[in-house]
Amino acid sequence: MEFSGTLVLAGLTFILLWLFSQKNRRQFRLPPGPSSLPIIGNLHQLDKRAPFKTLVKLSESYGPVITVYLGRQRAVVLVGYDAVKEALVDQADDFTGRGPVPLIMKATKGYGLGISNGERWRQLRRFTLTTLRDFGMGRKRMEEWIQEESKHLVARINNTKASPFNPTYFMSCTVSNVIYCLVFGQRLSYDDDNFLNLLQIISEVLRFGSSARGQLYNVFPGLMERLPGQHHKMFAKIEEVREYIMKKIQEHQDTLDPNSPRDYIDCFLTRLNQERHIPTTEFHYDNLVSTVLNLYLAGTETTSSTIRFALSVLIKYPKIQENIQQEIDTVIGQRCPCMEDRKSLSFTDAVIHEIQRLMDIVPMSVPHYALRDISFRGYTIPKDTIIIPLLHSVLKEEKHWATPWSFNPQHFLDQNGNFKKNPAFLPFSAGKRSCVGESLARMEIFLFMVSLLQRFTFSCPGGPDSIDLSPEFSGFANVPRRYDIIATPRQS
């Protein structure tokens, strides 16, 4: 009897929750979407390896603005360039909210630039953009840092002596050192044990966030916290990185000269000291630690993964690689590449853009959030709804790309072979919450790729046909597959 009573109670609960969700749907003029189940919502319908593909498929039935339920969390998905641009650019003020992603919330303890809203976000974003620009992001000083780092990368690859090697380690060290210079004011040796440990943790965090288990944590954080699993080890590793950052902040505090800031941390500490007596200031240690964590995590793995993926593409298409090298030889020769060269390297620039489009690094973007009821395209997006601008659908939309599923540099070239822009090229998202490090990432990818192709021809032991460009993991990020590659020095 007790068992049957429990079943009845569970059944009634199930029905009540379902009825509540239907009432909620009628109360607001929500965008259309598939029917959902209590507790799990629409999770059973999503491809766990690539949920963004299911969402695109659903949009074929329900239109470019659809409602789905990720567990009990309501989400509105924006599909295609027109819907994403209308929301993030044309109605930018309505869509500046950032969703409380449980993984990021726990890693940052709710502080920092990445997950913040309102006045905290405004103050931290303005300060971060200004400070990074002052230290050369998108300018000559940063260009010189990247040029110097590319020399270290070329030297390391030279030491492989045309033997197969995994480029993951070199690319992570190289890209990480650039953001390390900006944030911590120095570069580290590729052999530094602390450095290698940091890079390993960053890689593990991205891979976990893109795994099915990582996505499950975001949907059912309370349940996952009570269950054993890999996520506990991952959060312990993130705590290691936080402790490392706090140690570096203390070292900066002990040697701080407000009149001569060395890096981002010095600038933040100076502002913190200036506003110490303002009760509402957002310049305090919690925000500093978590913003540095945001910058370091975001500034390392995504850019290094893009460069790794680029090498795989060029190995798969050796004729494209050869054409880039011919263009580099004609325009630059043997001198050090600079950003000014991009204007004259139309084919190279087009290939780099197409690589980023094809890779589709963050297919579902970082979720936005309705901080209040939003009116959009005749629908109401209620407060506390997650909003997913589906960047995957923008970068692969047939209306904007002649061959969206194929590698095709002609997407970015006009009839005369000159570079042409495409408004649907949004790998860094758009609007007021677009990637704060976009100009830095663009500079790194261009300068590192040109430096590498100037010096080496890349291949792999299994030949071009052995390269699979589909991601190893898809979730928060599309993580490229790892291959051993061969770098054959080019004749000077």
Among candidate residues 382, 392, 385, 381, the one with its CA nearest the CA of residue 368? 385
- Average pLDDT over the chain, rounded to an integer: 91
Residue 91 vs residues 167, 330, 394: alpha-carbon distances, Å = 42, 45, 18
Residue 144, classed as helix, strand or coil, is helix
Question: Half-sphere exposure of 194 toward its Cβ, with a 13 Å CA cutoff?
Answer: 12
Using one digit for the tens of pLDDT, what is the confidence trace for 247-275? 999 999 999 999 999 899 999 999 999 99
269: which residues sit within 8 A by CB, 6+ positions away? Answer: 249, 252, 253, 256, 288
Whole-number Å distance between alpha carbons of 348 and 332: 12
Structure tokens at 251: 């070292």
Phi, psi of 175 (to 5 degrees): -65, -40
* Structure confidence at residue 136 (pLDDT): 64
* Structure confidence at residue 205 (pLDDT): 85
Whole-number Å distance between alpha carbons of 21 and 137: 47
Which residues in the chain come in under a pLDDT of 70? 1-27, 136-140, 492
Sketch the domain layout of the chain as residue ranges: 117-334+452-489
Q: Are 146 and 440 in contact (CB under 8 A)?
A: no
376: how many CB neighbours lie within 10 A of its CB? 19
Fold of 117-334+452-489: Cytochrome p450 (1.10.630)
Using one digit for the tens of pLDDT, what is the confidence trace for 212-232? 788 889 888 988 999 898 889
Which alpha helices (DSSP H) does 1-114 contain, by range?
Answer: 2-27, 51-62, 81-85, 102-108
Query: pTM of the entire structure?
Result: 0.90
